[in-house]
Amino acid sequence: MRTDVKKINEQTPYEDLTEGLIMFAGATAKKFNTGEWRTNTPVFDQEKCRQCLLCAPVCPDGCIPVKDDKRLDFDYDHCKGCGICYKNCPFGAIEMVEGVEPPADRRTEA
């Protein structure tokens, strides 16, 4: 039953697919760059950020990485630009800008 799903492709006959199309792998969503769907982009202002960490847990896509109790910059490969983090930031440290690309000058290197 357990199959190496990497060996399955669009030429695989139906008999060789997994039962119910079960994926025998974890965290496969990482391979799918949902960031491309974004029409608005959150921009992080490190100066204003108090590291309260209210934003990270509300992101539906887990796009606000936290390391050593501090949030880092957005994971733009997967951020869909929904703006939930922006709504939740009590300190105005997140701004939404139009478009898929964060403006280069506003971007804080993580």
Partner 1 sequence: MSVTSIRERMSGNEAVAEAIRQVNPDVMPAFPITPSTEIPQMVSSFIAGGKIDTEFIPVESEHSAMSAAIGSEAAGARTMTATSSAGLALMWEELLLAASNRLPIVLTLVNRTLSGPININCDHSDGMGARDTGWIQIYAENNQEAYDNYIQAFPIAEDKRVHLPVMICQDGFITSHAVENILLLPDEQVKEFVGTYEPEEYLLQPGKPIAVGPYSISAYAMEAKKAQAVAMENAREVIKEVADRFAQMSGRQYGFFESYRLEDAEYVMLIMGSAAGTAKQAVDELRESGVKAGVLKLRVFRPFPEKEIAEALKNAKAVAIMDRVESYNGNCGPLGSEVTAGLFRNKVFIDTVCYTYGLAGRDFTTDNVKEIFGELQGLVCEGKQVPHNRYIGLRTREEQ
Is the distance from CB of 38 to CB of 100 less than 8 angstroms? yes
Contact pattern for ligand SF4 over residues 10 through 49, marking x by CB under 6 A: --------------------------------x------x
Per the document, the length of the chain is 110
Residue 74: half-sphere exposure toward Cβ, Cα within 13 Å = 31
CB of residue 6 vs partner 1: minimum separation in angstroms? Answer: 14
Task: Work out whether 85 is an interface residue with ligand SF4 (CB under 6 A).
Answer: yes
Q: Which of 5, 8, 18, 61 binds ligand SF4 (CB under 6 A)?
A: 61
